[in-house]
A and B are shown apart, each in its own frame.
Chain A
Amino acid sequence: MLEPDAAHDPNSSPDETPLPAEIDEYLRRLGAALDLPAHVRAEIASEMAGHFRDSIAAIESEGLDPELAAREAIARLGSPTELAAELTSAHRTTRRLLVGAAGGVFHASLGAAGGLLLGIAIVAAAVCGAAVVTGTLLRPPTEFVYASLPALRAAIAGLPMVTALLSWACCLAAFVAARRGVAVSTRISRRTPAAVRRIWAIAGFVTLFVAAVFVVSAPQNLLSALSLLAVPFAFAAGALTNSTPRVSLPRGKAIAAICVLAILSASFARNVPAWSGPPPDVADTPQAHAAQLREFDRVAPAWAYVDGRPVLAEGGGLWGSGVIRQAVGILDPDPWSTSGPAARALSQFKDVRFEAWRAVRFDASPDIAEWIPDPAYSAPYATATADFNTVQFGPGHAEVEFNVGRVRTTEWIVFVTGIGPDGRRYRLNEPEFNMGGGPLVSSFTGTIWQWLTAST
């Protein structure tokens, strides 16, 4: 059982006489030459001090004076550097190295678990703080409670923000794990802290970097990718940080809490649209709507069969982390009938298909924001034949599902087109999206490497 280092200080026990100066110098040189952790050096110094006391007393009892007795005791023990080298070698066994590594990994796992719980608690507290700050400042509290929280759940479900939040918690877990791993590994393996820190920092960084880039598959965007990449850096920082931090904890925690809150507030304000304030409650003016529709004409002009009405009506859009779905129905009084005017108009079109276009925000007027097909693309990302007699929905209805989980684009528009009697392709439904005017939203799901190498 090791005792506290202070107990091994040769000068700490009042019942022990001070050692001669040359013995103190010998012990100082021995300690300096020992390439072992501090607590082991202190223990060896105490043991050797005890040895010198016994040795000098025995030599003095043989008739030598104290000064000569001290020199003789030193001569019997030999060179301090040689003794230090042999003691260092004796302590650095392969068994201790392996046990130290295993113990370090075990304690690092415990530290990671504790750090993850702490990180999640901090992130959750910060998220709540950010919710209060942004919700209170941007909305009346009641609206925040009844509207923002459900909107938040819908907004972040399966999206990269969750990846980012968990990554921040993992950063703290990695930091704590590295510190515990290094401390335990150093103590058991008897290697110097500097060497152990370097090994842990390099091994941990490489392992976590590879895992973050090539293994961990999650909803990704730039924020989540950077957050995930911060985890190996946090581990390396934890490994290289001195085990006895000098930072005043209350002040450090306060600064850390403020920083996290500020970062989260800024991130949420940018990444969660629901928290950027309610959508503007303004009239959809005919001028603005016409301006928006003209933008769609670039892709395919709208076919209106009577009174300016389109052939198809949207049945709502759904989206998940990696897929977007869109349903449409024939715009007749009886949507399941195939003999109404809209159905008859639809029957004149060939190659009726769903088209998934990358969307960009389009400010039709200062008060109205809509999404239109991205002008940077001249063709849809994907198409699928529209079947208006599906088993699931019956006649007059069609639905499509596009897998866009491996594309970095996250906002989409899906509509139906067909080749009309004049041989030109027309848009058959009006671009009203998701009942709220927004685009279909997807998120990239995969590793960082897949995200980096994915198409936009």
Chain B
Amino acid sequence: MRRPSIRTQLLKGTTPLLVLTVVRDSELYGYEIAQRIRERSGGAFAPSEGSLYPALHALEAEGALQADWRESDKGPKRRYYRITDKGGALLAEHEAEWASFARGVARTVADPTNA
């Protein structure tokens, strides 16, 4: 069995953070969210589409996102997600946690002897 890459495992854990980050600026629908993440990462990564929608629905169930059906720029109806106050607070929490985690990982990787 193939071992999942570090990127895949990281993406899985950070999908809610990434979703909330891109939705904070504007209301987006599912496919746009994936595209926006890809663009903002410079094409480095994007969450798998199979895990994006469960994450969106989980965040909605949690009250962090609110969804509405309306016409998209292309015409057909799409389900747009927007961040709620609760989502904003959750995002701040995730960002702080990620920053702390990333600093710790960076320090460890940069200097393994740094205890």
Residues of A within 8 A of B (CB): 1-3, 7-8, 13, 15-16, 43-44, 46-48, 50-51, 53-55, 58, 76-79, 82-83, 86-87, 89-91, 93, 95-96, 190
Contacts and interface: CB of A to CB of B under 8 A. Distances in A.
B13 interface: no
The number of chain B residues touching the other chain, given as a range, is: 20 to 34
Contact of B31 (A3, A8, A51): A51
Nearest to B74: A54
Interface string B15-57: 0000000000000011110000000000000001111011101
B53 A47 contact: yes
B69 A3 contact: yes
A90 B58 contact: yes
Given A7-B69, A76-B49, A82-B50, A93 B61 contact: yes
A322 B69 CA distance: 64
B50 A77 contact: yes
A87 to B, nearest CB: 5
A47 B50 contact: no
Given A47-B30, A90-B55, A95-B63, 6 more contacts: A46-B77, A83-B53, A86-B53, A89-B54, A90-B58, A190-B61
Contacts of B76: 13, 15-16, 50, 53
B93 interface: no
A45 to B, nearest CB: 11
A82 B51 CA distance: 10
B49 to A, nearest CB: 5
B48 A91 contact: no
Interface string B55-72: 101100111000011001
Contact of B77 (A50, A54, A83): A50
A50 B78 contact: yes
B102 to A, nearest CB: 26
**Which 5 residue pairs of A and B lie closest in terms of their CB atoms, listed nearest first?**
A78-B50, A86-B54, A90-B58, A54-B31, A90-B57
Contacts of A90: 54-55, 57-58, 61
A55 B46 CA distance: 14
Contacts of A53: 76
A8 B68 CA distance: 12
Contacts of A55: 31, 49
A83 to B, nearest CB: 5
A1 B50 contact: no
B79 A47 contact: yes
A50 B61 contact: no
Contacts of A89: 54
Contacts of B58: 90, 93
Nearest to B54: A86
A15 B77 CA distance: 10
A1 B55 CA distance: 19
A54 B55 CA distance: 19
